[in-house]
Structure 1
Amino acid sequence: MSHTGILHSYAPQKAAFEFTPRLLKKTIILIGGLEDGLLTLDYFTKVAEQVSPLGWSVVQIQMSSSFKGWGLSSLDNDIREIKQLVEYLRSPAGGSRESIVLFGHSTGSQDTMHYLLNYGETVEGGIMQGSASDREGFSQSVDPGEWERLNARAKALVDRGQGAEILPYEYAKIMMGTPITAYRWCSLALPGGDDDYFSSDLEPESLKSTFGKIQKPFMIAYSEFDQFVPKFVDKPKLLSKWASCSDPTFYSKHSGLIKGADHRVEQPAARECLFGMVRNFLQDL
C-alpha cells in the first residue's frame, strides 16, 4: 500500500515520515514497538485520517532501534533521537510546530513514559497503547528455571561492566531472533530494569516514581485482549493501580481498555474505540 506525505531527515541518517495532511501546527509523533519501523503497524497509517479534522498531523519516527536494532539499543538512546525529532519539528525547517504529543505502541509506550519523565517539558502530552510488560510477556514462553539461569548470566555480565556484550543465540531465540546485548536483556527481563514500567507486580512506591512523576497529560489505551499480557493479569485492576499512583491532574479520564482489541489493535471495531479515545484526549488538551 502506498502513502503520500513527506519524508523528513530530522538528523543525520535519521528519518521520519509525515502522513498527508501534513505540516499542521499540531503534530503527533508515532513510536512503534519492538520490530516496528516505518509503516509496519497497520493502524498507525489510519491515525492521520482520524485526527486531521481536529487540526493534527501525524509523523512516524524511525530510530536506531527500529526493526531489528532494538536489541543493541536502549530507552535512553530512543528518547535522545525522539528529542532530536521534537526539536526539528519545533524549528522553521520542521514546520514550527506549536503542539506535539507522543503516541507509543507496545515498547513505544516505554519510550513515551521515559520521554515524559526526562524531557516532558518539550511536549504537550503522551498516549501509550499496548503497554504490556516485556518481562512478563517474554518469560511466559520459557521454563522458569531456564529463565532464572539466563537472567543470572546476563546480569553477571552487566555487573562486570560488560553490558554491551552480545549474548549467545539462546537469548536471541527468545527475543524473536534478535541479537541482544546483556544490558538490553536485563533492561527488558529483570525486575526493576530500565524498561520495566508496566509489570503487574510493581509496588505502588515504584509506580509513584514513574506514573506519579509525569507532569504532562497522558492517556493509557490498554488492549482488552492483548495476547502479550499473561492471563493472570487483571487488566482493569492494573489500570486502576496505575491511575491511583498518578497525578489526577495529568492522568487522562479517557484512559481505559480498548474494547475487543488485541496487542496491535487489528479489529475494526476496536480501532474505532481507540480512535475515539485518542480524539477525546486531544480535544481535552
Structure 2
Amino acid sequence: MYADGCASSEARACVVVVPGLGDGPASLSYVARGSALEARCASTARALIRFELSTSYEGYGTRRLRDDARDIDAVIRALRVKFPLATSFALVGHSTGCQSICHYLASGYDSASAVDRIVLQAGVSDRDWYDADCGREVMREWVARAREMAPDDLMPADTPGTYGVATNARRFLSLASAGGDDDWFSLDIFDGSSGEGVESSKIVRKLGAGACARVDVRLVVSTADEYVPYDRDVVVAHNERIRDAFARVAKSARTHYIEANHDLSDMAEKDAPGFVDFVLS
C-alpha cells in the first residue's frame, strides 16, 4: 500500500484508488506523485492511497469482484487505524475498479459506513466493448460454451475477449454475459432495450437498501474513451441515466465530462484543475 499527499497520521481524510483490469497501483498518471490530485491532497490534509488488489495485473482472470470487495474492506479497516484523525474516506475507481466499488458497497461490509464519497472514472461496460470488438454473435457463442464448463475451468487460449489473460469460465461469464457480476453499466440496462431501465438497474437493486444513502457519487466520463463503442451523444445520454440511477439511492450524484481517453493519460493540462475539484469537492 502506497500513501502520498498528506501521508502522516495527521491526515484528516483518505482518498483510496481502486485500479481496473490489468492495472495496479502505479498505472494511473492522474494519481501519480507530482500529479495535480496528489498536490491538492497534500495541501488539504488528505492521504492519497494506492494499493494492489489480488486481481491486479493478470490476476483478474481467475478471481471475482467479491475478491476486490474483500480487499477494499481490508484497506479501509487498515486506514482507519493508520489515520485515526480521518473522518472522510473516498474511493476513486478506474474502469472495472468502479464495479469493484459498487460490489463492495453492496456486500454489507461494516467498513463501508466510513465511505462518504465514490468517484467512478471510466465505469464502462466490458460486455458492450467485447460485442463491438469481437462481434456480438461470436461472443454469444462463447458465452454459451462457457456456460457448459465448470466455473473454475480455464477458457481456451483463443477465447475472444480474454486478450491472452488466463481466464476461467466464471470470470468470462461475469465480464461477457448479460447480468454477470461485472455487468453494471451496459447500455441496454439503462435505455430500456433489455427490459430493465434506470429504476430496475443493478445500481438501484443492489445499492437501494441504504448501502449508498450517505455517499456522494461522482461520475467522471471520458468522451473519447477508446473502450466505449458509442458516439458522444449516446455517451452523454447513457451516463445521465447512470447518474439518475445513483441519484435514486445515494446522497447526491453528479457527472463530469472530459475530452480524454479511458485512463485520462491524454487529459489536457487545462482540464486537470476542474477534474481535481470534481473529485474532491
TM-score w.r.t. length of structure 2 = 0.84
Equivalent residue of 1:111, what SS? helix
Query: How do residues 197-276 of structure 1 correspond to structure 2 at under 5 angstroms?
Result: 197-202=184-189, 203-204=197-198, 205-206=200-201, 207-210=203-206, 212=208, 214-215=212-213, 216-231=215-230, 234-247=234-247, 250-253=251-254, 255-258=255-258, 260-269=259-268, 272-273=270-271, 275-276=273-274
**Do the aligned partners of residues 74 and 31 (structure 1) sit closer, same or farther apart at CA in structure 2, a change above 3 Å counting?**
same
How far the C-alpha of 1:21 sits from its partner, in A, is 3.3
2:75 alignment partner in structure 1:
85
1:43 alignment partner in structure 2:
30
Contact 1:223 / 1:261 at 8 angstroms: preserved in 2?
Answer: yes
1:179 alignment partner in structure 2:
166
Counterpart CA distance in 2 for 1:177 and 1:145 is 21
Per-residue CA deviations over 1:216-273 (Å, capped at 9, x if unaligned) read: 11111011111101125701111221222233652333x2312x1110112242x653
> Residue 66 of structure 1 aligns to which amino acid in structure 2?
S
Counterpart CA distance in 2 for 1:274 and 1:20 is 17
Counterpart CA distance in 2 for 1:244 and 1:113 is 15
1:104 alignment partner in structure 2:
93
2:137 alignment partner in structure 1:
145
1:21 aligns with 2:13: no
1:65 aligns with 2:55: yes
Counterpart CA distance in 2 for 1:275 and 1:170 is 43
Counterpart CA distance in 1 for 2:272 and 2:105 is 21
Aligned identity (percent) is: 25
How far the C-alpha of 1:275 sits from its partner, in A, is 4.7
How far the C-alpha of 1:125 sits from its partner, in A, is 1.7
1:117 aligns with 2:106: yes
1:165 to 153, 172, 184: 153
Counterpart CA distance in 1 for 2:77 and 2:169 is 31
How far the C-alpha of 1:212 sits from its partner, in A, is 5.0
How far the C-alpha of 1:74 sits from its partner, in A, is 0.8
Counterpart CA distance in 1 for 2:163 and 2:272 is 27
**Please, what is the CA RMSD of the aligned residues?**
2.0
Equivalent residue of 1:124, what SS? strand
Counterpart CA distance in 2 for 1:19 and 1:186 is 37
> Residue 194 of structure 1 aligns to which amino acid in structure 2?
D
Equivalent residue of 1:170, what SS? coil
**Do the aligned partners of residues 187 and 265 (structure 1) sit closer, same or farther apart at CA in structure 2, a change above 3 Å counting?**
same
Contact 2:121 / 2:219 at 8 angstroms: preserved in 1?
Answer: yes
> Residue 97 of structure 2 aligns to which amino acid in structure 1?
G
Identify the range of structure 1 (222-231 vs 37-46) with the bigger mean alpha-carbon deviation: 37-46
How far the C-alpha of 1:281 sits from its partner, in A, is 4.7
How far the C-alpha of 1:279 sits from its partner, in A, is 2.5
1:30 aligns with 2:6: no
Contact 2:92 / 2:119 at 8 angstroms: preserved in 1?
Answer: yes
**Do the aligned partners of residues 144 and 243 (structure 1) sit closer, same or farther apart at CA in structure 2, a change above 3 Å counting?**
closer
Counterpart CA distance in 2 for 1:132 and 1:67 is 18
Contact 1:252 / 1:281 at 8 angstroms: preserved in 2?
Answer: no
Contact 1:188 / 1:194 at 8 angstroms: preserved in 2?
Answer: yes
**Do the aligned partners of residues 113 and 273 (structure 1) sit closer, same or farther apart at CA in structure 2, a change above 3 Å counting?**
farther
How far the C-alpha of 1:128 sits from its partner, in A, is 0.4
Counterpart CA distance in 2 for 1:273 and 1:243 is 21
Counterpart CA distance in 2 for 1:34 and 1:208 is 24
How far the C-alpha of 1:95 sits from its partner, in A, is 2.6
Counterpart CA distance in 2 for 1:240 and 1:20 is 32
How far the C-alpha of 1:168 sits from its partner, in A, is 1.1
> Which runs of no fewer than 5 residues in structure 1 stay unpaired?
1-15
Count of matched residue positions in the alignment of Structure 1 and Structure 2: 258
Contact 1:211 / 1:242 at 8 angstroms: preserved in 2?
Answer: no
Contact 1:211 / 1:245 at 8 angstroms: preserved in 2?
Answer: no
> Residue 277 of structure 2 aligns to which amino acid in structure 1?
R
Contact 1:135 / 1:188 at 8 angstroms: preserved in 2?
Answer: yes
Counterpart CA distance in 2 for 1:83 and 1:143 is 37
1:131 to 117, 123, 126: 123
> Residue 191 of structure 1 aligns to which amino acid in structure 2?
A
